[in-house]
C-alpha cells in the first residue's frame, strides 16, 4: 500500500508543551505512569498497544489498539501525535522506521536495536571499554558445550531476545544436561554468561535531552526474587567512587547511543568492587520507581521532559527510600498498605492477578543508611 502522502512530515518539531500529544508505544504500567506524569505538565498521551484495557489505556487521552506491525495503524497514530516514545522496546525495526519518517521518534532506532539483543548490547558496552560478565554467543548444543568449556560452571544461558524478569534463562551447573538446558530455552540464539559472584546489584537511570544535556538519578540497590525485582533501595551501599563510576557508565552509554529519553543500566558489584554491566533498557525502569516519592523530578516526568524536548528537571533525592514490588496476590494487601504510615501505594489497574505479575509497588521512606 502507498503511504498517505497527505500526511504532514513532522520529524523535526518544536518542544511539546501543554496541549501537545505524546505517543507511547506499549500499554503497560510504565506507559501508565508516564501518562500520569505528562498530564501534570498539561501534555496528553496517546497509547499504541495490542491489548485492550491495559494499565496505560485507563489513564491516556487516546488509545490505538493494534499490532506493533500494523503499518496503517502506525501511520494514523503518527498523524495524531507530536512525538513517539516507547515504554516497551521490542517493536519491529520496520515499524520504528515508518514512524520515524512521519514524526520525531525518541529514543531512536539505535538505542532500541541495541537493547533488543543481548549480544548487540554486550558488544556495545565492551566496545566502550565497559565490562560485562564474560560471555560467548551460542546457537546450539555444540556451541553451548564449547562455551561451557570456556566459561565453566555455574553459568547462565539466556535467550538473546525477549527475555525479561528471569524468563528465557537457565542456570547451568555441573549437574545440568546442556542438551536439556538448550532445549528448555526454545530458541536458536542465546548467550552463555559466566556466573558473577556479586555482592550486590545496582542500577542507574540517566536522562538525556534533545540538546544532549544529561541528568542522572542516584544509583539504587536492587534485590531480585525468583528473577523478578523485589526491592530497590536508596542510598545504595556503594563507595563514592563506585557511585561516580556507575553514573559515568550510564551517561557514557546514553551519549554513545545518541539517546533522547531515559537509559536504565543494571550492574553487578563484584567481590573486588568492580562494576559489570548486566543489561540496559532505553525507557523508564522498575528500579526507578522509588524516584516517584523521593526526588524533585521523578523518572517518569524526566522521561516526558526529555522526549518532549523540554528542559530536564532536578533528579536530586530528598529522602532515603525503599520501593517494594507487589507481585501477584501481594497486591491484595492494599488496604493494609494504605493504612501504613509513610507508605505510598501505586497500583497499576490490572484486573487480573497472576503469579509473577507486577500489580503495583509501594514506596516506604527508610532511615538514612
Query: Which positions lie near ligand AMP, rule CB under 6 A?
Result: 133, 156, 163, 166, 193, 195-196, 201, 224, 227, 266, 278-279
Smallest gap, in angstroms, from Cβ of residue 219 to ligand AMP? 15
| Residue with smaller CB distance to ligand AMP, 47 or 192 | 192
Smallest gap, in angstroms, from Cβ of residue 322 to ligand AMP? 17
Smallest gap, in angstroms, from Cβ of residue 268 to ligand AMP? 7
| Residue with smaller CB distance to ligand AMP, 69 or 226 | 226
Smallest gap, in angstroms, from Cβ of residue 271 to ligand AMP? 12
Smallest gap, in angstroms, from Cβ of residue 22 to ligand AMP? 28
Smallest gap, in angstroms, from Cβ of residue 135 to ligand AMP? 8
| Residue with smaller CB distance to ligand AMP, 91 or 267 | 267
Answer whether 362's CB lies under 8 Å from 346's CB: yes
| Residue with smaller CB distance to ligand AMP, 270 or 353 | 270
Smallest gap, in angstroms, from Cβ of residue 162 to ligand AMP? 11
Specify the residue for cell string 556495545: 124
User: How many other CB atoms are found less than 10 A from the CB of residue 89?
Assistant: 19
Cell numbers for 232: 530497590
Smallest gap, in angstroms, from Cβ of residue 345 to ligand AMP? 25
| Residue with smaller CB distance to ligand AMP, 265 or 321 | 265
Specify the residue for cell string 525518541: 106
d(CA 245, CA 39): 34
d(CA 210, CA 260): 6
* Nearest residue to 220 via CA among 323, 343, 303: 323
d(CA 159, CA 321): 33
> How many CA atoms are closer than 13 Å to the CA of 327, on its beta-carbon side?
15
Name the pairing type of β-strands 261-270 and 321-327. unpaired
| Residue with smaller CB distance to ligand AMP, 117 or 266 | 266
Cell numbers for 281: 533498557
| Residue with smaller CB distance to ligand AMP, 63 or 278 | 278
| Residue with smaller CB distance to ligand AMP, 83 or 172 | 172
* Nearest residue to 118 via CA among 89, 94, 145: 89
Answer whether 30's CB lies under 8 Å from 85's CB: no
Smallest gap, in angstroms, from Cβ of residue 226 to ligand AMP? 10
d(CA 224, CA 150): 27
Answer whether the bond into residue 247 is a cis peptide, omega within 30°.
no
Q: According to DSSP H, which parts of the chain are helical?
A: 29-40, 71-80, 93-102, 109-116, 118-127, 141-151, 178-185, 240-256, 299-307, 334-339
Smallest gap, in angstroms, from Cβ of residue 65 to ligand AMP? 29
| Residue with smaller CB distance to ligand AMP, 110 or 200 | 200
| Residue with smaller CB distance to ligand AMP, 95 or 203 | 203
Return the beta strands (E) in 211-320 as ranges.
214-216, 220-225, 228-234, 261-270, 275-281
d(CA 157, CA 211): 39
Amino acid at each position: 500500500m502507498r503511504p498517505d502522502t497527505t500526511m504532514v512530515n513532522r520529524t523535526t518539531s518544536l518542544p511539546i508543551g501543554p496541549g501537545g500529544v505524546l505517543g507511547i508505544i506499549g500499554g503497560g504500567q510504565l506507559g501508565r505512569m508516564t501518562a500520569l506524569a505528562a498530564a501534570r505538565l498539561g501534555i496528553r498521551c496517546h497509547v499504541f498497544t495490542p491489548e485492550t484495557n491495559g494499565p496505560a489505556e485507563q489513564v491516556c487521552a487516546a488509545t490505538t489498539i493494534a499490532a506493533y506491525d500494523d503499518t496503517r495503524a502506525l501511520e494514523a497514530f503518527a498523524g495524531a501525535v507530536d512525538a513517539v516514545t516507547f515504554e516497551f522496546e521490542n517493536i519491529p525495526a520496520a515499524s520504528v522506521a515508518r514512524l520515524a519518517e512521519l514524526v520525531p521518534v525518541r529514543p531512536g532506532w539505535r538505542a532500541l536495536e541495541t537493547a533488543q539483543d543481548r549480544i548487540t548490547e554486550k558488544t556495545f558496552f565492551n566496545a566502550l571499554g565497559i565490562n560485562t560478565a564474560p560471555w560467548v554467543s551460542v546457537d546450539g548444543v555444540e556451541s553451548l558445550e564449547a562455551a561451557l568449556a570456556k566459561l565453566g560452571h555455574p553459568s547462565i544461558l539466556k535467550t538473546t531476545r525477549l527475555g525479561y524478569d528471569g524468563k528465557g534463562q537457565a542456570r547451568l551447573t555441573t549437574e545440568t544436561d546442556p542438551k536439556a538446558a538448550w532445549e528448555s530455552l526454545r530458541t536458536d540464539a542465546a548467550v552463555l554468561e559466566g556466573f558473577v559472584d556479586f555482592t550486590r546489584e545496582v542500577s542507574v537511570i540517566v536522562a538525556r535531552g534533545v540538546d544532549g544535556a544529561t541528568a542522572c538519578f542516584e544509583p539504587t540497590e536492587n534485590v531480585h526474587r525468583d528473577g523478578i525485582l523485589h526491592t530497590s533501595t536508596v542510598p545504595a551501599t556503594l563507595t563514592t567512587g563506585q557511585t561516580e563510576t556507575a553514573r559515568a557508565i550510564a551517561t557514557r552509554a546514553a551519549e554513545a547511543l545518541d539517546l533522547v529519553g531515559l537509559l536504565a543500566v543494571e550492574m553487578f558489584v563484584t567481590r573486588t568492587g568492580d562494576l559489570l554491566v548486566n543489561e540496559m533498557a532505553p525507557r523508564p525502569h522498575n528500579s526507578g520507581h522509588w524516584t516517584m516519592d523521593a526526588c524533585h523530578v521523578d523518572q517518569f516526568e524526566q522521561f516526558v521532559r526529555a522526549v518532549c524536548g523540554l528542559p530536564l528537571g532536578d533528579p536530586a533525592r530528598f529522602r532515603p527510600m525503599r520501593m517494594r514490588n507487589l507481585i501477584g496476590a501481594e497486591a491484595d494487601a492494599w488496604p493494609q498498605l494504605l493504612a501504613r504510615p509513610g507508605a505510598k501505594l501505586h497500583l497499576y489497574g490490572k484486573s487480573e492477578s497472576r503469579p509473577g505479575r507486577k500489580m503495583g509497588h509501594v514506596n516506604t521512606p527508610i532511615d538514612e543508611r
